[in-house]
Structure 1
Amino acid sequence: MDRELEVVIVPVSGVDRVKAFHIETLGFRLDADLPVRDGYRVNQVTPPGSACSIIFGDGLTPTAPDSHLGPHLIVTGLEAALKDLAARGVTVSGPVRDGSGVFHHAGDAERVPGFHPECVSYGSFASFHDPDGTLEELTQRARGR
């Protein structure tokens, strides 16, 4: 039986700021903005082409706002994605690759500036903030993924 990831809940502060960033800046689709009652609001957005959505809001999780690290948005062309984000006014750090060959270390540990020299899938990354997010280049999925 297949099991597909449907949604990731991300604790945030400033729901309207995060919503505007995803919708207006990144071009995500707004699936829901449900102000259920005072202190409980659910927003759901979906990246273009993605089957998985992000939920954020008020009263959704006991986790501290802005503590969720590094959701990865997968793109088939990292260089083009970096240009697109820059055109949208998003500050991006990268591209980088991981010196150990495996990503993801805490902070900047093992990050090597530049694209992977062989342009392999899962080899080059870039990150942006507000909320924290990571782009990963994936031109061909690894077997079984």
Structure 2
Amino acid sequence: MDLKLEMIVLPVSDVDRAKAFYEQLGFRLDVDYTATDDFRAVHFTPSGSECSIIFGNGMTTAVPGSAQGLYLIVSDIAEAHAELTNRGIQVSDVFHDAGGLLHHGHHAGDVTHHDEGQKRLHGLHPERTSYASYLTFNDPDGNGWILQEIKTRLPGR
């Protein structure tokens, strides 16, 4: 059985503010549908992605900003940092994880970790290893996004 992740529901407090942010980010607007005063669905897809996000009125009871650890993959993290900054998106500096290959903290604003060896180090991973360099940003509600650089995928991907 094939299972494909197609959509992630984001909890937001202001639909129009979130829509403007994701347009500024460069996501493609697929749908902005209002059925009633209590239901509106706004659907975006990141460039190159098969998975989309959706938010709106009547979409979820989750607390706005509670979605964390939303990964976007890029082939060049330095280029992504420059493009997002040019688009006016507030992003973290590029960093890598002291503990090794994978970033341990999945909250975009989390700059300290509680486990030994889990620390953000400034700049690209010294060997520019795939899966090892990151940057983070939040949408206006605090939903946390992580960009991860992958130049070569692990086998089976």
| Alignment TM-score > 0.5, same fold | yes
Question: Corresponding residue for 1:21?
Answer: 21
Question: Corresponding residue for 1:143?
Answer: 155
Question: Corresponding residue for 2:146?
Answer: 134
Amino acid across the alignment from 1:7: M
CA-to-aligned-CA distance 1:63-83 (integer Å, 9 cap, x gap): 111111131111101111111
Amino acid across the alignment from 1:80: E
Amino acid across the alignment from 2:18: V
CA-to-aligned-CA distance 1:80-104 (integer Å, 9 cap, x gap): 1111111111111121111212323
Tell me how far 1:129 sits from its aligned partner. 2.0
Question: Corresponding residue for 2:33?
Answer: 34
Instruction: Compute the TM-score of the two structures, normalised by the length of structure 1.
Output: 0.92
Gaps of 5+ in 2: 114-118
Q: Which consecutive aligned stretches of 4+ in structure 1 deviate over 2 angstroms post-superposition?
A: none
Equivalent residues in 2 for 1:1-145, closer than 5 Å? 1-23=1-23, 25-101=24-100, 102-105=102-105, 107-108=110-111, 109=113, 110-130=119-139, 131-145=143-157
SS, match of residue 94 in structure 1: coil
The sequence identity of aligned pairs, in percent, is 44
Tell me how far 1:2 sits from its aligned partner. 2.8
Tell me how far 1:15 sits from its aligned partner. 0.8
Amino acid across the alignment from 1:13: S
Gaps of 5+ in 1: none
CA-to-aligned-CA distance 1:28-87 (integer Å, 9 cap, x gap): 111111112122211110011111100111111111111111311111011111111111
Tell me how far 1:144 sits from its aligned partner. 2.1
- Considering only aligned residues, what root-mean-square deviation do their CA atoms show, in Å? 1.3
